[in-house]
Every structure is written in structure tokens, then in C-alpha cells.
Amino acid sequence: MLECNNISKVYKKGNWFSAQQAAPVLNDVNFKMIAGRSMGLLGENGSGKSTLTRIILGLEKPTSGNVLFNGQDIHQMVQRGDQQFRQNMQAVFQDPASAMNPRWNALKIITEPLINFGSYSQEQRRDSAAKLMCSVDLNPSDMDKNITRFSGGQQQRICIARALALSPKLLILDEAVSNLDMVIQAQIIELLEQLKTTHNISLLLISHDIRVVFKLCEDILVLDKGNIAERISIETGIKNAHSDAFTRLVSCVS
Ligand SMILES: Nc1ncnc2c1ncn2[C@@H]1O[C@H](COP(=O)(O)OP(=O)(O)OP(=O)(O)O)[C@@H](O)[C@H]1O
Ligand SMILES: [Mg+2]
């Protein structure tokens, strides 16, 4: 489904007054995601997780390498203005409030992707919004409420509902539960676990929290300073995991 081939990213450091230096952030990252399995991208702060996420989403170009989604090069599609792949690849980020227009109600936010990719009557939009709100355990009777009147956890559910609107095959979550308190975090993790089966969706879950990743993913990549330090799967288990980056992340949990 998703293939990252030899992805490297180098940012230029410095400004007009100082010599520009190259700052490598990702170095020859290779992995494949198979439909029906979820992948966790685990790494400490600054290890390059969000940079890789933006490259996968086609929001940023790699310095070298390519990303294939169902065999098609994402950056070539972006270059030709072909946005159709976004129907099958949706993302949810860390801070729900900054990902939504504060003047909009839940209905408008959740059904925005439908409007971008097709024409729907008001009745169809309300109908879709109601179903999507139910699938993320929100009450559809709240769809006309302004987004600022929902709690942080509810706002993240609304972001997930919006991401599900086009029935994507891949849902990318960059630290999407990190800002939530433990109880709400556990509820959202449970919701994502359900969605994997009910919506037949694969997750690409980016996190520095090993517990979240192990709960939801069959395959795990450990990123260390832009390099893949370790590959773990439910078949191989974590018993043999030994990289320094993995050991440091484990020690954060206890
Ligand atoms: N646009 C940019 N220009 C220059 N450097 C950048 C840019 N974006 C990210 N970086 C640098 O790349 C490195 C990796 O950043 P990135 O945000 O990908 O890490 P991360 O693993 O997502 O971290 P976190 O866990 O804090 O979210 C950092 O050193 C960061 O300063
Ligand atoms: Mg990040």
C-alpha cells in the first residue's frame, strides 16, 4: 500500500549572513506498509518522525528517494495537481484545535472533505455527519454546535471523523493522542482499535510513546536521528529488540 524508498531529507541551516550548512534529518529510510497491517513509527523528539510524515503526505519533498502509494509516486502526483490519492490517505495531528476553523460547527468540519471531492446535498451532508459522529462515539444531535464548545478529546474525535469521511485506506496519526489526558487517551486508542476492523483501515501511527504504538500496530519502526535503528513486528516480538533508541524509549515508560 505505502512504500518509502531511500528517503533522505537535508535542511539548509544558516542565513544570509552565515554560511549555509547542511542538516541531515532523514537518512535512507526504507519501509513498506501492507494493507491490513498497521505501522508504528517510534522515535524520540527530533528523530525525524514528523518530517517523514510530511514527506509521506506529499506536503514536503524529500531530498532524495520516493514515496509510492498503491504503486504511484506521491510527489509526481502532487506536482501534476492530482490530489485524488488524498481520498485514500488522511491524517490527524496532535493539536485538534489548530486543525479546525474555530468559527465552524461540527457538521461543516466533518463534511468538508466530502465537499472537496464531490457534490452533496445538505441532507446527504447531515446524514454522513451523523453516521461519522456515531462511528467516533459522539452524539449526532451535537452536529450544529460550534467546534469551540467541544472538549479537547471530543475535538480530536471530530478530527478523526473528518479523516474518515472519504473512507480512506490509510489513516496517518502524528502524535494524535499525545496531548490528551490518560483517560481520554485510552478511549481514543480503543476507538482507533475498533476503527481498524470496522472501517478496514490501516494506521500509520507516529509516536514517542511505546505503549500507544504496541497497542495498535503490528509492525514498528524505531527511528533514531533520522535512521531506522530497529524493525519490530508482532511475529518477532520485542524480546529481541536491542537498539539504543528502543531501550531509551522503554526506560521512559517505567
Ligand atoms: N522546516 C525545517 N527546517 C529546518 N529544520 C527542520 C525543519 N523541520 C524539522 N527540522 C529539524 O528536523 C529534525 C527532526 O524534526 P521532526 O519534527 O521531524 O522530529 P520529530 O521526531 O517529529 O520530533 P517530535 O517528537 O518533537 O515531534 C529536528 O532537528 C528539527 O529541528
Ligand atoms: Mg513530531
Q: What is the number of helices (H) and of strands (E) in the chain?
A: 8, 10
Domain-located, residue 147: yes
Residue 236 has pLDDT above 90, yes or no: no
Please give the pLDDT value at position 182. Answer: 86
140 in Cβ contact with 130 (< 8 Å): yes
Measured in angstroms, how far is the CA atom of residue 193 from the centroid of ligand 1? 28
Please give the pLDDT value at position 181. Answer: 83
Report which protein residue has its CA nearest ligand 1's atom 31. 46
Please give the pLDDT value at position 254. Answer: 59
**What are 5-59's pLDDT values in tens digits?**
999 999 987 666 666 678 889 999 999 999 989 999 999 999 999 999 999 999 9
Domain-located, residue 153: yes
Please give the pLDDT value at position 19. Answer: 64
Residues of 37-52 as b/e, b for ≥16 C-beta within 10 angstroms?
A: bbbbbbbeeebbbbbb
Domain-located, residue 122: yes
Nearest to 109 by CA among 118, 100, 117: 100
Residue 202 has pLDDT above 80, yes or no: yes
Domain-located, residue 134: yes
Strand 89-92 to 170-174 pairing: parallel
Count of structural domains within the chain = 1
Measured in angstroms, how far is the CA atom of residue 101 from the centroid of ligand 1? 25
For residue 21, list its beta bridge partners.
13
Average pLDDT for residues 152-176, to the nearest whole number?
A: 92
Residue 99 has pLDDT above 70, yes or no: yes
Domain-located, residue 137: yes
* 180: confidence class by pLDDT, cuts 50, 70, 90: confident
Domain-located, residue 24: no
Residue 238 CB-half CA count within 13 A: 15
Query: The domain containing residue 118 runs over which residues?
Result: 96-167
* 216: confidence class by pLDDT, cuts 50, 70, 90: very high
Report which protein residue has its CA nearest ligand 1's atom 8. 51
Domain-located, residue 236: no
Average pLDDT for residues 78-82, to the nearest whole number?
A: 93
137 in Cβ contact with 191 (< 8 Å): yes
**Alpha-carbon separation of residue 27 from 6, 58, 247 (angstroms):** 8, 18, 21
Please give the pLDDT value at position 211. Answer: 87
d(C-alpha 156, C-alpha 164), whole Å: 12
Please give the pLDDT value at position 18. Answer: 66
**Alpha-carbon separation of residue 243 from 6, 41, 43, 214, 231 (angstroms):** 21, 14, 11, 16, 10
- Determine the residue of 29, 41, 50, 63 to mutate for testing ligand 1's pocket, defined as the one with the most ligand atoms within 8 A of the Cβ atom: 50
Domain-located, residue 118: yes
d(C-alpha 199, C-alpha 182), whole Å: 25
Put the strands of the sheet holding 202-207 in their side by side order: 89-92, 170-174, 202-207, 39-43, 219-224, 227-233
Average pLDDT for residues 156-183, to the nearest whole number?
A: 90
What is the chain's Cα-based Rg? 19
Give, for 227, the enclosing helix (H) or strand (E): strand 227-233
Average pLDDT for residues 169-197, to the nearest whole number?
A: 89
